Amino acid sequence: MTPLETLILVCYFFVLSILAIYGWHRYYLVYLYMKHRDKAPQPPPDLDVLPPVTVQLPIFNEMYVADRLIDAVCEMDYPRELLEIQVLDDSTDETTEIAELAVRRHAMRGFNIHYLHRVDRTGYKAGALDAGLKQASGEFIAIFDADFIPPADFLKRTLPHFGTDAKVGMVQARWGHINQDYSLLTKIQAILLDAHFVLEHGGRNRAGCFFNFNGTAGVWRRAAIGSSGGWQHDTLTEDLDLSYRAQLAGWRFVFLSDVVSPAEVPVEMNSFKSQQHRWAKGSIQTCIKLLPRILRSNQPLTVKVEAFFHLTANFNYLLMSVLSILMFPAMYVRYNMGWSEMLLIDVPLFLAATASVGNFYVVSQRELYSDWRQRMKYLPFLMSIGIGLCVNNTRAVLEAMFGKESEFARTPKYGIEADGDEWAGKKYHMSVGVQPMIELALGLYFTWTVFYALMNQIYGTLPFLMLFQVGFLYTGLLSILQQFTGENVMLKAPEVAK
């Protein structure tokens, strides 16, 4: 074996081993969740005296959903004299008129609702929240993004958890999905988010580890925000940043899986990618900013280890991109030196990296839905799309590592709720750029790799290779198709296709 071939295999198995370790960590999260099932937060007694609450609604160019959000918040079951609503609008389009009219309409009904418009978007969402906080009157701050429809009993189900412990700084509800059955893409996103909330938040919270506020559908104790340094905008995930600073300062968080706030997931691939890019870049920025401080803190080792895996998880996309490039060279080298011996190492590592993902999402769906077995038919697509995102999120990771500044790109929402709703002719479409061409090239690269495996009867690798092939082709082609034709034919999920 030549030095180059040795180098290829060493790099290949090193990357695969790291991915396998993170894969095994998913098993650990499921273990934490199951081990501490009896520690799920129980409904506390109702508060004897209801506190004043400020609801903040940060929006930016959300003309299709702003009215829906404001209407829903004004339908909350909470005394009007104790409820303040702030519409924090940084918009530069028709949204300003829509939001302002909605505020006036509800103010005439007797609501304490204010329209706050900034022409200077300094700090983006974090800046808007901070500006609103300076004028807020509430002891507790509830936050909802524009695409959410909070249930009427949201405040009465979350606020009692603050009354049981003065150190509770934040209560996070689970996200629901208004339009999860709209398409294959929305179905996959719903499953991804379900696992994030149920197993990651649920397992970490019950085990006493840190978890994060998700930027919306949660309530903060105002004192927790101020004592932890307030909203800061040196990362794209101001929610994750503040969450870790608050928990390091001694505040305790509560996750309520049974309190659900429905929201709209992106129906467009490029919008989905933009959202994932922001989350991935922001998490790495927060990792660079806070992980050294966390590791130096006096927190228990289990908390530090879990924080490490949480904040570094998006580095896996960089490793996945490297693995994608190395797949064919490694296969070629191994085939020429004797395939069967290498399978003893290769297959277990791949299974550790992929089977754990399958188990992770199966458990989350089983916890939430009676028809969870039906939902599992989407699992191969879920893993493929996760792989297909690695170019998009690798770019995010590299930008964070090298300190490249970028705007807070909010995820466009189109008010899509039912199967027949259309989005293609609406505003806010995301631009494509060169990235889909890279994804398409990788898809063709893996198409050739699949043919090579078939021609040489290397059948054991085909399931793994096809996950990469489908993932890159789907994300790349769908991005191009939706940008230039407005078609959504490739979006339709099997059970809702016409």
Token output for 124: 């983006």
The question of whether 371 is a catalytic residue gets the answer no
Contact in structure between 145 and 87 (CB atoms under 8 Å): no
Which H or E run includes 57?
A: strand 53-59
> Could you give the C-alpha distances from 216 to 43, 125, 255, 342, in angstroms and in order?
21, 11, 13, 47
Residue 148 DSSP class? B
Taking every pair of C-alpha atoms in the chain, what is the biggest distance, in angstroms? 80
Q: Which of 258, 256, 252, 263 is nearest to 216 (CA)?
A: 263
Count of helix runs (H) and strand runs (E) in the chain: 19, 7
Rounded to the nearest 10 degrees, the angle between the axes of helix 315-337 and helix 435-455 is 30
The question of whether 153 is a catalytic residue gets the answer no
Annotated catalytic residue: which of 89, 147, 194, 239?
239
Contact in structure between 55 and 142 (CB atoms under 8 Å): yes
The angle at the Cα of 304, spanning 298 to 308, to the nearest 5 degrees, equals 145
For 258, the 3-state DSSP assignment is: strand
> Could you give the C-alpha distances from 390 to 1, 317, 380, in angstroms and in order?
31, 5, 16
Rounded to the nearest 10 degrees, the angle between the axes of helix 184-195 and helix 339-368 is 80
- Give catalytic residues, as residue numbers: 90, 239
